[in-house]
Amino acid sequence: FAFSQLSQLNQIMKPICLLGHMRSITQVRFNRDGDLIFTCAKDPHPSIWFALNGERLGSLVGHNGAVWCVDCRWDSKKVLTGSADNSAKLWDTETGKCVLSVDTNSAVRSCGFDFAGTSAMLTTDKTMGYKCTILLYDIRQDPAGQPACQMLVPESKITSAVWGPLSRFLITGHENGDLCQMDVRAQKVIRTEKHHKGAINDIRMYKDGTMFVTASKDHTARLIDSYELQLFKTYKTERPVNSADISPLRPHVLLGGGQEAQDVTTSGAHVGKFDAKFFHTVYEEEFARVKGHFGPINSVGFTPDGRGFVTGGEDGFVRLHSFDNDYFDFEFE
Amino acid sequence: MGSEEDIDVSGEDFTDPDDFVDDIDDKELLGDILAEKPQEKKAINNALVLSGLPIVDSARIERLQVFIRDKFLDKHGEVVKFSMPTDENGNSLGFALCCFQTDQQALDALTDIQGASLDKMHTLNVFKFSDFNRLADADDEWKPPEKAPFVDRGDLRSWLREDRCHDQFGVLHTAGSVATIYWHWPGDPQPVDSATRNNWTESRLHWSPLGTYLATYHTKGIALWGGEKFEQINRFQHKNVQIIDFSPCERYLVTFSPSVTKEDPHAIKMFEVDTGKMKRSFLHEQAAKWPVFKWSHKGEFFARVQTGKALQVFETPSFSLLDKKSISVQDVQDLSWSPTDNILAYWIAETDNQPARVILMTMPEKREVATKMLFNVADCRMHWHPQGNYLCVRVNRYTKKKLDADNTPKYINIYTNFEVFRMREKNIPVEKIEVTDAVSCFTWEPHGSKFAMVQGIASKGLSVVFYQVNAHDIEKVKVLEKRNVNTISWSPIGQHVVLAGLRSANGGLEFIDTSDMKTTANQEHFGATDIEWDPTGRYVVTTVSFWHVKVDNASHVYSSHGTLLYKLNKLERICQFAWRPRPPTLLSDEQIKNIKKNMKTYSRRFEKEDLQSSTRASKELLEKRARLKTEYEKWRAKLLEKFRGEKQKRLELRGVDTDELDSNAQDFVEETLEFPIKVERIRIDKLPQVAE
């Protein structure tokens, strides 16, 4: 039913390819307005693009290593990046100037502005004898440089993290598949749930912050509520899922992933299953795929208006798609 | 001995308490050693009786003795004692006794010389001396065997009475630890009641040839299951059984296990399925050429080749040699049975002064019905047409032969002949086709007269060639070039065929209707390792088995024309997909013809039924979706309530309402961005001249 429609989708939807990164894309984000795209890759230059036509607004120059994560403040004025060069930087979106840089003990894996945009969260990797750490900075004070508070994570390291509703706590996904609510200010773990059997590669909040979708190495993505971490839906695939997002417009979930690069043994893009997959949020059924990347997809995202989506892959390409009218007419019977 | 010094035992008292009773027997203490304790021999296992010898007078008796020892016995070990009893006149009695040094030597000699021919009139029949004792020990009075209680196993063919003639299939999944039997309801297979079991088998699932039983493998032996609920029918003990074979009638089961012991040296065992009794066992044979014993089509006979020496044909239910002797044939290599008649085909290797021969013999009459001489033969393989209409012998021939240093022949310039025997015509005429390329995957079309094969070598491109056996000749009907194919899989009812590139050949599938040789579909199931037609020829299933590949284990179900119907990928780590076979149809040819003639009436009825069941299925699906939707909406409503409750806090934190994309529209700033749409560079001196 849907696959025939997909082939039409492919013909009409011509994606814009954002060429600018020399290495694998690690994260792709929109600002709240949806007119800017923020990308970071395993090269040291996170970039900002116009969503309208895919032209590059500029690059953020200052990092010396792979950049793992990027986030844009709700008012689009500030950008936060975390890098494997053991630093996180705060940038001015309009000028591209680095306004604040903090050094960490190990690579910064995930970062994020809180709801109000007054503080920033970082999580660091567990390497070279350093424990995985969550750091909170108050970015109103200038220059800051010192974390407002920090919390050591004793067990499995954090592979992805986002702020919970109203930024009362953090929601963290761990390498062993644990999902936790952490109150960093009170230095305690509020709740731990084990919905996944493998590392949680990505957590993406729904637009209202009440629920989120996780993407895991265990070949599934799951829809979970933010308040109680209650599992509600599971989307199964045949390959590790690296990233997932919930459409703000339609009951759809977008999944990206594919065979890990190190496991690719045979040639041919179809073997690794590098398609972006669309699932129905409620029925948990896959209804469409979009081809394009020739390596695993590392990050996906819907545009904030839900009229398009973006994917960033291990192949170094960022592909910006806008849906054609068929997509909005398509209904499950 | 340092450790002993370390332990101070001086203070310990090891004497038993007064009331101690030593109740451990030796068997428990050193059972493993006791098992090897020399036993007094009850039977003389190193003695053999040779019968079937010619009767000679006293003058020639010595020569005969020397001849027998020379030719048959001495090569197997030292003969301690050899005697040939005579009558009062000094004439021999036609038998001899001999004693070897060890049991093993006697056993070797027995298997080797059994059935050897001395001359045209005399064939050796050898048995163990101990068998005499066994017979002598038998009770003089015959006791009737006890009547076994009748066990009602229900209707073993209940699955055939399913309303809409759906088939069943078995799937071994979750890395082999779970097996499930399904009803094949197209598009929506349903597990059979109580037929999903953990650790049902330790290696694979094996259906009996008519589908009545499901055999499972266990360390202790084989278990058979059947009936509506797949209850256990019988068990057959054979430790570490590796491979099995049913007789075509399903009455007998042959098992092979490589682990043999002194007490039980027989690697092959034959059981009766109904009673579970072992009927006969045989000494170790290499399982590589399984099945070692080949069954005739009704299970009346089974036969094996003693390479280079003889054919052994056994009868059922007695399990003894037909006419009590093997058929001695010098240089015999291999045999096979016709799938529909009691005709045995075997071939004899070429020797210096005799050509190779393929011989067809009826059983039990042992009448040769056809013989074909062949020259320069390296190897032969026999392919019977599934309905027994033809026998095709694939002959690998050479133009030159060399002998290696160790006297093994080496063949140069191999080419292939196909000798087609027309079994249904008078005197069984034979026709020949010659192929110069390398050949693989020879297959007959079931219920038809075509055969197909793959020709060529992989590096230069393979082609699939179809031949048709006509009334007077054999015609090459189609050559499909440049095909990456290593399996030709015919529909069990003929006409349709799938050319598959399994395993390393990437899983390309080409569906061909051979009535007009048109390709009906091309499909791909990447990495597929197996392909199997359902017994009715309506569906084809390809599987990526966990035993070969660790990712994407799934089965794809296609129609006979190559339409992908559905994927069985919800099960994890699928190892094996096995259709349950069906017994042959009970309809006569006439009835089948009638059905084909009235196809339209039938298909109209079935289409109507299909439509009904699909609307029923879609109705169920819609109901399920409606239920999911209500659940989801309830869940969302709860979350949205919380969300609305926090609105005030959100406003405090951000200062503006950002709940929806346009909820702070009053703050929007109009921006104008200019993008160059097109860049064109023109050199001014090359500007086109303006016309004057």
B3 phi, psi to nearest 5 deg: -65, -35
Retrieve residue A310's tokens: 């973006």
Range of the domain at A259: 1-19+246-332
Q: Which of B569, B628, B649 sits opposite A283 (nearest CB)?
A: B628
Which is more confidently placed, A233 or B85?
Answer: A233
With a pLDDT cut of 90, the percent of chain A lying above it is 55
Identify all chain B residues contacting A233, using CB atoms and an 8 Å cutoff: 632
Number of domains in chain B: 2
The answer to whether position A251 is within a domain reads: yes
In a domain, B615, yes or no: yes
Residue A228 near residue A258 (C-beta atoms within 8 A): no
**In-domain check, residue A4:** yes
CA distance A258 to B269: 50
Tell me if B324 is assigned to some domain.
no
Residue type, A39: T
Residues 626-655 of B with CB under 8 A from A: 628-629, 632, 635, 639-640, 642-643, 646, 649-650, 653-654
Among B residues 660-689, those touching chain A with beta carbons less than 8 Å apart: 661, 673, 675
Compare B37 and A199 and report the one with higher pLDDT. Answer: A199
Contact A210 B640 (CB under 8 A): yes
Contacts across the A-B interface (CB distance below 8 Å)? 64
pLDDT at A4: 38
Provide the domain limits for residue B51: 42-129
**Residue B608 counted as domain residue:** yes
- Mean pLDDT (whole number) for B498-511: 89
Q: Answer yes or no: do A232 and B673 touch at CB < 8 A.
A: no
State the total domains in chain A: 1
Q: Do B635 and A232 touch (CB under 8 A)?
A: yes
Q: What is the pLDDT of residues A31-75, one digit of tens each?
A: 998 889 999 999 999 999 998 888 889 999 999 999 999 999 998
pLDDT score, position A5: 42
DSSP type of residue B73: I
Query: What is residue B40's predicted lDDT score, i.e. its pLDDT?
Result: 61
User: How far A53 CA lies from chain B's nearest CA (Å)?
Assistant: 9
What local confidence, expressed as pLDDT, does residue A267 receive? 45
Question: B653 to chain A: which residues are within 8 Å by CB?
Answer: 115-116, 166-167
CATH for B50 = 3.30.70.330
| pLDDT at res. A3 | 39
Helices B599-645 and B589-597: crossing angle, nearest 10°? 70
Amino acid at residue number B618: S
CB contact under 8 A, A238 and B658: no
With respect to residue A239, please indicate whether it lies within any of the assigned structural domains: no
- Is A165–B646 a contact, with Cβ atoms under 8 angstroms apart? yes
Of B129, B148, B178, the position where a domain reaches its end is: B129
Q: Does B658 touch chain A (CB under 8 A)?
A: yes
Convert the pLDDT of each residue in B109-145 to its tens digit: 887 777 777 777 788 888 887 777 677 777 777 888 8
Distance from CA of A34 to the nearest CA of B (A): 9
Mutate one of A16, A93, A115 to test the B interface: name it (highest B CB count within 10 A).
A115
Per-residue pLDDT at B142: 80
- Asked whether residue B246 is assigned to any structural domain, the reply reads no
Q: What is the band of B541 on the pLDDT scale with cuts at 50, 70, 90?
A: very high
Measure the CA angle with vertex A254, ends A253 and A256; round to 5°: 145
Residue A220: what pLDDT?
93
Whether A177 maps to a domain, the answer reads no
Nearest CA in chain A to B649: A166
Least confident of B107-121, B326-340, B520-534, B673-687: B673-687
Q: CB–CB of B180/B214 below 8 Å?
A: no
pLDDT at B437: 83
In a domain, A300, yes or no: yes
Contact between chains at A238 and B642 (C-beta distance less than 8 A): no
Report if residue A305 sits inside a domain. yes
Question: Do the beta carbons of residue B248 and residue B232 sit within 8 Å?
Answer: no
> Is position A303 within any domain?
yes
Instruction: Among B627, B654, B672, give the residue marking a domain's end.
Output: B627
Per the model's pLDDT, the better-predicted residue between B458 and B235 turns out to be B235
CB B379 within 8 A of CB B385: no
A283 located within any domain: yes
Interface test with A, best of B653, B670, B672 (most A CBs within 10 A): B653
Question: Is there a contact between B635 and A208 if contact means CB atoms under 8 Å apart?
Answer: no
Q: Which residues of A touch B675 (CB under 8 A)?
A: 50, 52-53, 55
Q: Distance (Å, rounded) from C-alpha B660 to C-alpha A249?
A: 11
Burial B339-369 (b: 16+ CB within 10 A, else e): bbbbbbbbbbbbeeeeebbbbbbebeeeeeb
Mutate to test the interface with B, among A229, A233, A283, A303 (most CBs of B within 10 A): A283
Q: Contacts of residue A223 in chain B, CB cutoff 8 Å?
A: none
Chain A neighbors of B552, CB-CB under 8 A: 238
Contacts of A331 in chain B (CB under 8 A): none
Tell me chain B's radius of gyration from C-alpha atoms.
36
- Decide if B79 is inside a domain: yes
Q: What percent of chain A is predicted at pLDDT more than 70?
A: 91
**List of chain A residues whose C-beta atoms are within 8 Å of the C-beta of residue B661:** 32-34, 304-305
Question: Whole-number mean pLDDT of chain B?
Answer: 85
| Chain B contact set for A268 (CB, 8 A) | 526
B198–chain A nearest CA distance, Å: 22
CB B402 within 8 A of CB B456: no
Of all residues in chain B, the percent with pLDDT exceeding 70 is 95
Peptide bond into A143 cis (omega under 30): yes
Contact A208/B640, CB-based, under 8 Å? yes
Nearest residue of chain B to residue A285 (CA atoms): B625
Report the range of poorest mean pLDDT among B42-51, B71-80, B505-514: B42-51
Mean pLDDT of A203-217: 93
List the single residue in A with minimal CA-CA distance to B648.
Answer: A166
A314 near A28, Cβ under 8 Å? no
